[in-house]
Amino acid sequence: MAIRVLLGFSIPEEDLGHLFEVYQQFVENVFSLPVDLPFSGYRRGIQARQILQKGLEKAIREKLQCTQGKDYSDALDLLIESSKEHGKEMTMQELKDGTLELIFAAYATTASASTSLIMQLLKHPAVLEKLREELRAHGILHSGGCPCEGTLRLDTLSGLRYLDCVIKEVMRLFTPISGGYRTVLQTFELDGFQIPKGWSVMYSIRDTHDTAPVFKDVNVFDPDRFSQARSEDKDGRFHYLPFGGGVRTCLGKHLAKLFLKVLAVELASTSRFELATRTFPRITLVPVLHPVDGLSVKFFGLDSNQNKILPETEAMLSATV
Q: Is 250 annotated as a binding residue?
A: yes
CA 263 to chain CA centroid, Å, is 11
Q: Which residues contact 150 (CB under 8 A, 6 or more apart)?
A: none
C-alpha 217/C-alpha 14 separation (Å) is: 47
Q: Ramachandran region of residue 236, left (φ > 0), alpha (ψ -120 to 50) or beta? A: left
C-alpha 169/C-alpha 22 separation (Å) is: 32
C-alpha 47/C-alpha 54 separation (Å) is: 11
Handedness of CA 29, 30, 32, 33 (dihedral sign): positive
Among 271, 280, 257, which Cα is nearest to 299's? 271
Output the known binding site.
Answer: 250
Output the known binding site for heme.
Answer: 250
